Structure 1
């Protein structure tokens, strides 16, 4: 009669085998997918929108140097399908007011350094200095060494709101001359100021920008009884006013044959900055600096070739995009692709890079996570099996034996109800084999045998008929046997193939 197994019912095999476990795959791939989606969302939030197709610049009076420069900017930007609207203005002060007003719709403008009446707006940055604005002072009478000597004279200091007037007032104030005193400060500028000087209506004229072009200065220099003021204290002025630069009008600049001027003349010059709102698109920042380089980069009597534009920070901080451009130039995509295509590719890269950096390594990790989840359903039962097996090796009562068998039945029922991918069916059956191994130990119990040849009084070692390898050892042994059988079969096949070849080569 067979020993009782302790089971009240036959086990039912209700395990389901599927090609792939979608639940495990989803749990393995889901967190990685969420991380990638989050990275893409952050990238999209940080990505710059497409650059606008229209810009507005506040330039200067119609026909002025900066108004003409803005018209050239317009032509250059049109090559890249960007429309530049040019607004005339009274000068740097109005340009600055428009830029500071969020409702003016002005994106960029030319602003002379030193004209800002107070702290500059936090929302404005500089794309770089684009030109010198030399200040030339012509006067009647004997040689003047210091500006303070003009006290009590009639001075043409530029029109209201012009950069020339702001600079002239700042320099005169540092010499003790202020509006409302004995010195008459007349709002004359340009040709009007030059004519007033020639006709004797004013004693000195402060000319800057278009009024201080080499041709105009040469004409006034040749005028009888008119002298060109030499800033002998230029070094001191550039230290007192950091936005000023000392320039030297070389000998013969007006006429090489007559050597006019006959000696170098020191003059002062602020720079004009291309100021923009800090919301300006980086791609448009690059285009504007390129246009400035094409328009302002040529050599003239006041500057060397390539001297402008330059990242000279005076009244306004250099924008990060401009600093990057001056350091390394245009981006790679903008150098090899048309502007509109490079702009599109640049924004797409922000989305593609997280996919490459995160998704590809993550996809290599998914198979390992998937295998670990599936195998964990098998391995999780071995701890309980080992605990039952250890209990079977010790002394136990009939009630304890029944309890152990019930625990084993519960494990077997749970295992028989697993849903497993077909690729892991072998491990499923190995686990069931190990469950049967433990059941056999519980069924047969422990049998003690003594060695008949042992000396009297010595305890023979207990030999258990049911003793055998543990479930894990049995699993490893099965795999080793399978590998050995496969190797033997392969060797037999190779030997047979060699014998067949030998028989074919034997002569008839």
Structure 2
């Protein structure tokens, strides 16, 4: 048993020695492969090299709430995400257009911006819905076109550059062309406008925000404030495809007091998440999975909106990552591996698959490469023996022969340490015999020269 163990250790040592020699033999090819692998690694860029900066609107809005959810998801998965708050869409658009701006991701509500406004961005889809709320006070109002009704009445429409102000203008112009900016369209911040409406200083307030918005909730809970019904909601959706229909059911706000007393049909728009085209795929996967998690954990007051994220506003082109997400779903290994590793595999799986296909034939030929190197090493030893035999023949003194003898003995040690494949074994023993014969000849030459 001890003999087998010693033989195994010696066997492994010789195997390591020969592979070291094989590595030196193939060093130029190895270096070339290493350079190619480094180039592929640099091209694929498996990890983000820059921070992600997400622009949101003012505190309490739907985009601000989404930003908090995204930041929580990013932190849990070891990705940096910086949130930058802006007062309105105009400021966000200005930052996105500025090449020097650090913002590389933002929310854009469908209808408040067009793809032409964001040429360098791609979409990750709709990550939330933003209902269009028209609150008013006083007697119940039943009209076909609420915007025409408030054409000449005081109504707060949001601060300049906000989503609310932009969508109000779009909807007002739909059936009331040439309306423009009228003095009765009060461009007030939402919080101030809500205070004014509750105090009775204005008649109505138009706001685009989530059901969970503190301002929306404050107005919904006030018994003095009513919610406008849109009888022509289906017609609006037909004219403006980026909109969708949502309904506040009878008693949906307060079932004990049955508020509202009737179903209220409303319009809603999608909240698109746009990113710069060069935002790293890992970051895009994080945004998409965070949006899905937020939707699953959030109680959706408007179930007709469907599962989020989704690709509804097709005016914005999808990123390649989002295209895979919506067509193929989330890869299964995201459920088993750490996020960074799962996203890395998703980013480089094509390269890994290609390398695997290349590795198969290489693996099949590795024995041949090893055999070729084994044969080459033996032939190199044979050539060295040939040169030493020539030197031995030309030696005229005992000192010269002893020098050749030293080289022969080193060669014998090298040959003994050389591992060869099975079909080269006969050449190995033939070489050992030839070296031994040369050593014997050298010993005889030394003895003969020393007698002279």
Deviation at 1:270, TM superposition (A): 0.8
Farther-moved stretch of structure 1 (38-47 vs 97-106) = 38-47
- Which residue number corresponds to residue 85 of structure 2? 88
What is the root-mean-square deviation of aligned Cα atoms in Å?
3.9
Provide the C-alpha distance between the structure 1 equivalents of 2:170 and 2:133, rounded to a whole number of angstroms: 15
Provide the C-alpha distance between the structure 2 equivalents of 1:185 and 1:305, rounded to a whole number of angstroms: 30
Change (3 A) 1:364 1:219: closer
- SS of residue matched to 1:166: helix
1:251 aligns with 2:253: no
- TM-score by structure 1 length? 0.59
Provide the C-alpha distance between the structure 1 equivalents of 2:346 and 2:193, rounded to a whole number of angstroms: 52
- TM-score by structure 2 length? 0.66
Query: Does structure 2 retain, via aligned residues, the 8 Å contact 1:40–1:351?
Result: no
Query: Does structure 2 retain, via aligned residues, the 8 Å contact 1:50–1:343?
Result: no
Deviations 1:164-208 (A, max 9, x none): 010011111112265557662111242322333344433322122
Provide the C-alpha distance between the structure 2 equivalents of 1:348 and 1:186, rounded to a whole number of angstroms: 53
Provide the C-alpha distance between the structure 2 equivalents of 1:347 and 1:194, rounded to a whole number of angstroms: 47
Deviation at 1:151, TM superposition (A): 2.5
The runs of 5 or more residues in structure 1 that have no matched partner are 1-24, 375-421, 427-508
1:127 aligns with 2:124: yes
Query: Does structure 2 retain, via aligned residues, the 8 Å contact 1:154–1:184?
Result: yes
Query: Does structure 1 retain, via aligned residues, the 8 Å contact 2:44–2:348?
Result: no
Farther-moved stretch of structure 1 (78-87 vs 350-359) = 350-359
Change (3 A) 1:363 1:31: farther
- Which residue number corresponds to residue 288 of structure 1? 287
The runs of 5 or more residues in structure 2 that have no matched partner are 1-21, 376-422, 428-452
1:12-411 equivalences under 5 Å are 40=37, 43-44=40-41, 46-52=43-49, 54-116=51-113, 119-139=116-136, 140=138, 142-146=141-145, 147-176=147-176, 178=178, 184-209=184-209, 215-220=217-222, 222-223=223-224, 227-297=226-296, 298-303=298-303, 307-342=307-342, 353-362=353-362, 364=364
Deviations 1:267-293 (A, max 9, x none): 111111121111111111111112222
Query: Does structure 2 retain, via aligned residues, the 8 Å contact 1:32–1:359?
Result: no
- Which residue number corresponds to residue 459 of structure 1? none
Change (3 A) 1:285 1:366: closer
Change (3 A) 1:169 1:34: same
- SS of residue matched to 1:196: helix
- SS of residue matched to 1:119: helix
1:460-475 equivalences under 5 Å are none
Deviation at 1:134, TM superposition (A): 1.0
- SS of residue matched to 1:133: strand
Deviations 1:308-365 (A, max 9, x none): 2222234422222022123434445543322344455667766654443224415646
Farther-moved stretch of structure 1 (305-314 vs 145-154) = 305-314
Deviation at 1:38, TM superposition (A): 9.3
Query: Does structure 1 retain, via aligned residues, the 8 Å contact 2:292–2:309?
Result: yes
Change (3 A) 1:347 1:61: closer
Change (3 A) 1:260 1:295: same
Farther-moved stretch of structure 1 (239-248 vs 87-96) = 87-96
Provide the C-alpha distance between the structure 2 equivalents of 1:335 and 1:219, rounded to a whole number of angstroms: 41
* Corresponding residue pairs, total: 350
Change (3 A) 1:212 1:251: farther
Provide the C-alpha distance between the structure 1 equivalents of 2:120 and 2:340, rounded to a whole number of angstroms: 27
Greater helix share, structure number? 2
